[in-house]
A = this chain, B = another copy of it.
Amino acid sequence: MPLLTEDAKGVYVIAVTPFSDTGEVDWASVDRMVDFYEEKGATGLTILGQLGEAPKLTAEESREIARRVISRAKIPVVVGVTAPGLAPMRELADSVMEIGAAGVMVAPPWTLKTDDQIYAYFASVGDVLGKTPWVLQDYPLTTNVTIAPKVIDRIVRDIPTCVMLKHEDWPGLSKITTLRASSDKGETRRISILCGNGGLFLPEEMGRGADGAMTGFCFPEMMVGVVENYAKGNPDRAHDIFDAYLPLARYEQQQGIGLACRKYVLAKRGVISSATLRIPAPALSKLDIADVERLLARQEKRLKEIAA
């Protein structure tokens, strides 16, 4: 499978990990999910991230899921390899690259503070990963680490295997602007910037020079629609699509309960057989489900209106 490069574009969907009602990995749903994401226009998949419930998997399960997804998918697969130490990170990265992953993704440990500490950490990551291309995940809300644009520039300049930024700083629009200015002036390489944060700022992020999305909202149609229409020079159409999905996307972006909501919708759409999360995990209450159902009904109505 081709390796991830700075030219990556489009929508890399953050995949869930489907479980049966009793918490076993549900392999049939894994296959169905891969097919679903491809049918909806995903250009890549990202697995074993936080929202793939990676920390709840045994090492063996992680490897098996990676193997299954990679062998099924016709599109590139990025694998989350964030780990408490560099040695286990390398172990997992090497094993998934061997079976055909396109690249890996790394978030910083919560203890990093100064610019130099952050840079040094990712320099070490680059060292231990060897030739494997990797994605820098910049998500201060959950990592506790704020990475200044100049630190990202320095990493990009010094470490050629860093080919993509998963951008989910908040607010982050000026960050994209600053990073693109650096590469436009030739001060750094231009790497791929795919945006997370549940897609909540996707149209504006595309307007600042992002290359697409890397997030897991339960309607990948939204991300695909926004990215494609921006690429085609139709920002208004992109916003129309975005606005129709925004109420649900906002609801799904709640920390904790959001993943339960995502799985609920994916199950309802027939993609996965069960909405089950492995424990420990919050469950949707009846009131939560009523909220989601209302949002789904309103969304469907609005989508029809804007299709007309």
Chain A residues engaging chain B, CB cutoff 8 angstroms: 54-59, 61, 83-88, 90-91, 110, 113-117, 120-121, 124, 140, 144, 146-148, 150-151, 170-171, 173-174, 177, 200-201, 204, 207-208, 235, 239, 242-243, 246-247, 250-251, 254-258, 278-280, 285, 287-288, 291, 294, 298, 302
B116 touches A291 (CB 8 A): no
Instruction: Write the nearest CB–CB distance from A64 to chain B, whole angstroms.
Output: 13
Question: Known contacts A87-B58, A115-B148: does B287 contact A255 (CB below 8 Å)?
Answer: no
Total identical chains: 4
B285 touches A254 (CB 8 A): no
Question: Known contacts A170-B255, A246-B247, A250-B200: does B280 contact A58 (CB below 8 Å)?
Answer: no
Instruction: Write the nearest CB–CB distance from A85 to chain B, whole angstroms.
Output: 3
A86 touches B257 (CB 8 A): no
Using Cβ atoms and an 8 Å threshold, which residues of chain B touch A258? 171
Give the CA-CA distance A36 to B117 in the complex, in Å: 36
Query: Can you identify 15 A-B contacts, CB atoms within 8 angstroms?
Result: A55-B83, A55-B84, A58-B87, A59-B59, A86-B279, A110-B110, A110-B144, A113-B113, A113-B146, A116-B150, A117-B148, A120-B280, A174-B285, A200-B250, A246-B247
A87 touches B57 (CB 8 A): yes
Give the CA-CA distance A200 to B249 in the complex, in Å: 12
Using Cβ atoms and an 8 Å threshold, which residues of chain B touch A173? 254, 257, 287-288, 291
Give the nearest-CB partner of A60 in chain B. B91
A86 touches B116 (CB 8 A): no
